[in-house]
Amino acid sequence: MAKGVVIVVGAGIVGAACADACARAGYEVTVCEAAGIGGGATAAGMGHLVVMDDSEAQFALTDRSQRLWRTLAPKLPAAAEFASSGTIWVAADAEEMTAVEQKHAYYGERGIETTILDAAALAREEPNLRGGLAGGLLVASDCVVYPPVAAEFLLERSGATIKMGEPVVALGQGEVRFRSGAALQADVIVNAAGMAAGRLTPGLPIRARKGHLLITDRYPGWVRHQLVELGYLKSAHSQDGDSVAFNAQPRPTGQVLIGSSRQFGVTDAAVDRAMLARMLRRAEQYMPALAGLSAIRTWTGVRAATPDGLPLIGPAREDATVLVASGHEGLGITTALVTGELIAAILTGGASAIPPEPYLPTRFQETEAYGHHG
């Protein structure tokens, strides 16, 4: 006998992880998706599974989730392209090397082994970075995954009923309503609709943050680790204005995936040539020879961002039958699995591996929630 009926709205990586976790907790799960499995921000992301240190809450969330990913890895199909490529945080100068040392200490205190690379060691690890960089921090435990296939795997494993193609126009009070007027009832509804979550649960402090990516043809071994400039944190944290940062990832296919850009309040999917050019010039400052690789595709995605950079996981303010799982911004792939775990814990009333409080949607005050988040 199922413990109850759960409807998950959204078949992105977060919705898939929630469906999987709820099904494993003994619930009967239906997933509703308007477009396609992993077709939104999930498909647009890099699939970098990274432990972040910008706040204790974010560390706890990313660290726990990455552990869940590494446990899941042996079960993933080959097409999910899981790879333990590690991350190198690249320091351009002596000032950034100080940040490397701080980061090294921070991770070390929390049980994550990292290696400080001096200039020569960095050049050995990544011969295609330009000369003259100060060094970097190697976080060997970081991984990459191909998110849409991982989402498909989680959905399949959940055994959930998938209701594809019909957009959900309203949810709440134990009911999900579709554009056609049809409705489905459930004990609990998980709103994992990404950017659309704010429309379905009014008042969520979600705003759009558009990003660009470019992928090259196959050049196996050209980049060996996920490379992120330390300035990335400045870019990722800035709460206004457009920003870019050097971020290059070796796909297991040998392709090089190049990011990243951030634009607030932009939801238009078109590739913004000026922003793309700015992003790539930044990348070429770190890897000049990127300029000569063959680029085969560019695309954009819109991340669902929150004011404090942490996702919204837990009951909606107005309606206890609705659990929100959105607002993951650029870390949705990394934090999908812990999101599912937290949602299942809230559902069953069980203990969760990490404290859920920092991520509860109710942490925002009314005024903030209804504020101008464009």
Partner 1 sequence: MVITVDGQPVEVQRGVSVAAAVSAAKGYTRRSVCGEARGPLCGMGICFECRVTIDGHAQQRSCQIPAAAGMQIATEVVIERPAASVGHGRRAADVVVVGAGPAGLAAATAVVRGGQRAILIDDNPAVGGQIWRAGGVPVAPSIELHCQTRVVDQPAPGVLRAENPDGIIDFSYRKLVLATGARERFLPFPGWTLPRVLGAGGLQAMVKAGLPIAGKRVVVAGTGPLLPLVAAYLRQHGAKIIAIAEQQQAPLLMKFLSALPPKKILELMKMAPALAGVPVWSSTWPAEAYAGGVTLNRWGKLKKIACDYVACGFHLIPNTELARMLGCAMQNGCVVVNERQETNVADVYCAGEPTGVGGVELAEAEGAIAGTAAAGQGPSKKLLKQRERYRRFADRLDEVCALRPELRDLPRADTVVCRCEDVTYGQLTAQPDTRAAKLLTRCGMGPCQARVCGPACEFLLGWSAPAVRPPVFPARVAAFSASASRE
Residues near partner 1 (CB under 8 A) are 35-39, 43, 79, 128, 148-149, 152, 164, 214, 216-222, 253-254, 258, 271, 273-274, 276-277, 280-281, 283-284, 288-299
Which lies closer to partner 1 via its Cβ, residue 106 or residue 299?
299
Q: Phi first, then psi: what are they for 218, rounded to 5°?
A: -85, 120
Q: Say which amino acid occupies 129.
A: L
Which lies closer to partner 1 via its Cβ, residue 1 or residue 270?
270
- What is the pairing mode between strands 28-33 and 161-164? parallel
CB of 13 to partner 1, least distance (A): 12
On the CB side of 63, how many CA atoms lie within 13 Å of its CA? 19
Report how far residue 129's alpha carbon sits from residue 120's, in angstroms, rounded to the nearest whole number.
11
Which lies closer to partner 1 via its Cβ, residue 183 or residue 289?
289
CB of 272 to partner 1, least distance (A): 11
Which lies closer to partner 1 via its Cβ, residue 63 or residue 242?
242
CB of 253 to partner 1, least distance (A): 8
CB of 23 to partner 1, least distance (A): 20
CA trace torsion 264, 265, 269, 271 (10° rounding)? -40
Which lies closer to partner 1 via its Cβ, residue 147 or residue 361?
147
- Please, what is the Cα angle at 175 between 304 and 167, to 5 degrees? 50
CB of 49 to partner 1, least distance (A): 19
Report how far residue 116's alpha carbon sits from residue 114's, in angstroms, rounded to the nearest whole number.
7
CB of 149 to partner 1, least distance (A): 6
> Taking Cα atoms as reference points, which of 120, 311, 105 lies closest to residue 198?
311
Residue with tokens 């943050």: 209
Residue with tokens 């080959």: 78
Which lies closer to partner 1 via its Cβ, residue 32 or residue 258?
258
Which lies closer to partner 1 via its Cβ, residue 100 or residue 151?
151
Q: Say which amino acid occupies 318.
A: E
What are the CA-CA distances from residue 188 to residues 14, 28, 184, 234, 346 (Å)? Answer: 16, 11, 11, 38, 11
> Taking Cα atoms as reference points, which of 203, 188, 218, 194 lies closest to residue 347?
188
Which lies closer to partner 1 via its Cβ, residue 179 or residue 273?
273
CB of 273 to partner 1, least distance (A): 5
Burial of 181 (0-12, 13-18, 19+ CB in 10 A): exposed
User: What residue spans of 11-146 are helical by DSSP H?
Assistant: 13-24, 41-44, 56-72, 94-109, 119-125
CB of 166 to partner 1, least distance (A): 14
